[in-house]
């Protein structure tokens, strides 16, 4: 709290502090204080929860009027720092206990100040509007310091900024308003990323991904990418509008295009996302649409186009913002889509579910990761085609399988990983991932196929670069000389 604010607050509370009867104004008149050492200060009254924090400062001090006055003033200052407009601390009695002399203080806190705006003392690029919308400090509500801490958590959870110093509460002179002040700096959240994979006897493939985060400090994001794999080309686009008017929700627009020799798919969706628990949990609901076409093996032309319209529900949560080398983190996600399909040959319903969980737990110098991923559709029959299948592989997926590896409508796998490193510099790790996929039979039905992948990886962090190298084998790899090599480079800015 600045000097000007302290003077204004004390003048406002002058009636309470200096005209109230009791030891605050004349401590020696109503309380006989022996010249002994004060062992303990104990607070009672409705303000003790907010003013008792400073009571420990009087321990082992001389029990005289000067030190008692200083103690009471410190307790009132504590109430002011907690957002109270008025406060009173009154010495009631001195008692002797087994541990020594104890001073009993009656603490009363009056009405609170109310919140004004949120301000940044640092050098983040967030505009004042974005800062206040993300922080969501309850304007014109009683000023509880816990609200300011929650606002700071929401800002850090956004992934755009990090805190430099503890937040402050400052009163606006001649008003009952207080502002919250934070000191933030930007985190490089935008990036350009490229990844590629090679096998000695196989075909190289990879992808390019770009994300523009917090564009011009407005908390708007744009993500787009393209991948080239064994089965063709896929592209996608995602735009995030951080809020709609006064609604506490953001709008996401997404689209994707897939095209290869056997299938074509064009998909789009619009989703409203609400944030809970200071931004750690997100719940979304939206609408989706798609057009799909397939060419059956042996045919020369694509079959009839299938059209679909559906609804989506998603829920995800994460303890901390994304990190290149997580430590003590956990995340989970669930996506459900129910769509109605129609084409020249008939109509039907499709349910798609995708879920996953990951946990990182430090065990001494080692970080242990355990996780599971799964995707499924219903019904899984001849009507389920490759146009609605996805590739589980890639450097961020089933790491023993290259980006763009053969797609499947349903899969599930487990992850077990152990690594040594640090969040600032990265490290090395080893992993094993057993899994199950649905593969197309000759009769166009689906059957389960077990598999596994294992390997080692390196993640290195430089001031603006993240480099990741993975060498992996899977159950059908003839030898280590035929191992899969994957490289990913991300430039953050």
| Residue 230: predicted pLDDT | 60
pLDDT number for residue 202: 67
Tokens 């992993």, residue located: 431
Q: Where in the chain is the domain with CATH 2.40.160.50?
A: 191-492
The answer to whether the beta carbons of residues 179 and 170 sit under 8 Å apart is: yes
CATH 2.40.160.50 fits 191-492, yes or no: yes
Tell me if 95 sits within 8 A of 89, measured CB to CB: no
Beta bridge partners of 420: 366, 428
Asked if 287 contacts 269 with a C-beta cutoff of 8 angstroms, the reply is yes
Residue 299: predicted pLDDT: 79
- Determine contact, residues 145/151, Cβ cutoff 8 Å: no
User: Closest Cα to residue 382, out of 469, 450, 467, 443?
Assistant: 443
Q: Give the pLDDT confidence score for residue 437 in this predicted structure.
A: 93
CA 104 – CA 124 distance, rounded (Å): 46
Question: Is 114-186 a domain of CATH 3.40.50.2300?
Answer: no
Helix axes 145-157, 128-135, angle to 10 degrees: 110
pLDDT for position 489 = 96
* Cβ partners under 8 Å of residue 176, min gap 6: 85, 113, 114
pLDDT value, residue 43: 83
* Helices 65-81 & 3-12 angle (0-180, nearest 10): 100
The span from the CA of 193 to the CA of 236, in Å, is 14
Q: What is the pLDDT of residues 48-101, one digit of tens each?
A: 777 765 445 556 677 777 878 888 888 888 877 777 777 778 888 888 776 677
Residues of the chain with CATH 3.10.20.310: 3-109, 114-186
- In three state form, how does the secondary structure of the chain look? CCHHHHHHHHHHCHHHHHCCCCCCCCHHHHCCCCCCEEEEEEEECCCHHHHHHHHHHHCCEECCHHHHHHHHHHHHHHHHHCCECCEEEEEEEEEEECCEEEEEEEEEECCECEEEEEEECCCCCCCHHHHHHHHCCCCCCECCHHHHHHHHHHHHHCCCEEEEEEEEEEECCCCCEEEEEEEEEECCCCEEEEEEEECCCCCCEEEEEEEECCHHHCCCEEEEEEEEECCEEEEEEEEEECCECCECEEEEEEEEEEECCCEEEEEEEEEEEEEECCCCEEEEEEEEEEEEEECCCCCCCCCCCEEEEEEEEEEEEECCCCCCCCCCCEEEEEEEEEEEEEECCEEEEEEEEEEEEEEEEEECCEEEEEEEEEEEEECCCCCCCHHHCECCECCCCECCCCCCCCCECCEEEEEEEEEEEECCCEEEEEEEEEEEEEEECCCCCEEEEEEEEEEEEEEEECCCEEEEEEEEEECCCCCHHHCEEEEEEEEEC
The predicted-structure confidence for 219-231, as pLDDT tens digits, reads as follows 999 999 998 866 6
Q: Which of 109, 91, 108, 94 is nearest to 21 (CA)?
A: 91
Report the chain's C-alpha Rg in angstroms.
31
Indicate the pairing of strand 484-492 with strand 191-198: antiparallel
- Cα gap 162→285, rounded to integer Å: 29
**For tokens 């686009």, what's the residue?**
237
Q: How far apart are CA 146 and CA 14, in angstroms?
A: 27
Spell out the CATH class of 3-109: alpha beta
For the record, the structure tokens of 488 come out as 């990913």
Query: What is the spatial distance between Cα 423 and Cα 320, in angstroms, rounded to a whole number?
Result: 13
User: What is the C-alpha separation between 117 and 2, in angstroms, rounded?
Assistant: 17
Beta-strand pair 484-492/281-294: unpaired
- The list of the chain residues with pLDDT below 50 reads 1-34, 54-55
Lookup: tokens for 289: 């649409």
Dist CA 288 CA 270 (whole Å) = 7
Tell me the whole-structure pTM to 2 decimals: 0.77
**Amino acid 9: pLDDT:** 35
Q: Which of 47, 81, 280 lies closest to 181 in space, CA to CA?
A: 81
């Amino acid at each position: 709290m600045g000097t000007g604010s302290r003077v204004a607050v004390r003048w406002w509370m002058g009636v309470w502090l200096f005209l109230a009867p009791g030891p605050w104004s004349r401590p020696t008149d109503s309380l006989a204080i022996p010249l002994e050492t004060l062992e303990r200060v104990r607070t009672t009254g409705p303000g003790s929860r907010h003013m008792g924090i400073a009571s420990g400062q009087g321990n082992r001090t001389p029990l005289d009027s000067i030190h008692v006055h200083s103690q009471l003033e410190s307790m009132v200052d504590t109430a002011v720092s907690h957002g109270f407009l008025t406060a009173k601390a009154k010495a009631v009695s001195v008692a002797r206990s087994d541990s020594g002399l104890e001073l009993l203080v009656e603490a009363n806190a009056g009405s609170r100040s109310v919140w004004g705006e949120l301000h940044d003392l640092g050098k983040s690029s967030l505009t004042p509007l974005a800062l206040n919308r993300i922080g969501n400090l309850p304007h014109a509500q009683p000023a509880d310091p816990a609200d300011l801490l929650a606002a700071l958590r929401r800002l850090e959870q956004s992934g755009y900024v990090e805190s430099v110093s503890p937040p402050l509460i400052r009163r606006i002179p001649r008003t009952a308003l207080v502002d919250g002040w934070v000191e933030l700096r930007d985190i490089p959240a935008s990036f350009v990323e490229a990844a590629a994979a090679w096998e000695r006897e196989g075909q190289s493939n990879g992808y390019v991904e770009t994300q523009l985060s917090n564009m011009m400090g407005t908390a708007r994001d744009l993500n787009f990418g393209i991948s080239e794999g064994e089965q063709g080309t896929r592209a996608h686009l995602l735009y995030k509008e951080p809020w709609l008017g006064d609604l506490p929700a953001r709008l996401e627009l997404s689209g994707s295009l897939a095209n290869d020799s056997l299938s074509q798919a064009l998909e789009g969706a619009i989703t409203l996302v609400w944030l809970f628990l200071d931004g750690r949990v997100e719940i979304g609901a939206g609408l989706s649409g798609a057009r799909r076409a397939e060419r059956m093996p042996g045919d020369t032309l694509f079959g009839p186009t299938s059209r679909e319209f559906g609804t989506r529900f998603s829920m995800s949560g994460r303890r901390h913002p994304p990190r290149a080398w997580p430590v003590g983190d956990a995340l989970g996600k669930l996506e459900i889509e129910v769509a109605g399909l129609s084409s020249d040959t008939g109509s039907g319903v499709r349910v798609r579910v995708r879920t996953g969980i990951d946990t990182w737990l430090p065990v001494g110098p080692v970080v242990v990761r355990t996780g599971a991923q799964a995707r499924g559709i219903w019904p899984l029959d001849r009507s389920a085609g490759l146009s609605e299948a996805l590739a589980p592989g890639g450097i961020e997926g089933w790491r023993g399988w290259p980006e763009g590896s053969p797609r499947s409508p349903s899969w599930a796998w487990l992850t077990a990983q152990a690594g040594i490193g640090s969040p600032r510099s990265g490290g090395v790790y080893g992993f094993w991932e057993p899994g199950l996929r649905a593969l197309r039979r000759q009769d166009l039905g689906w059957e389960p196929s077990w598999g596994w992948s294992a390997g080692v990886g390196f993640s290195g962090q430089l001031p603006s670069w993240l480099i990741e190298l993975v060498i992996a084998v899977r159950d059908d790899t003839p030898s280590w000389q035929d191992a899969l090599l994957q490289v990913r480079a991300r430039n953050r800015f």
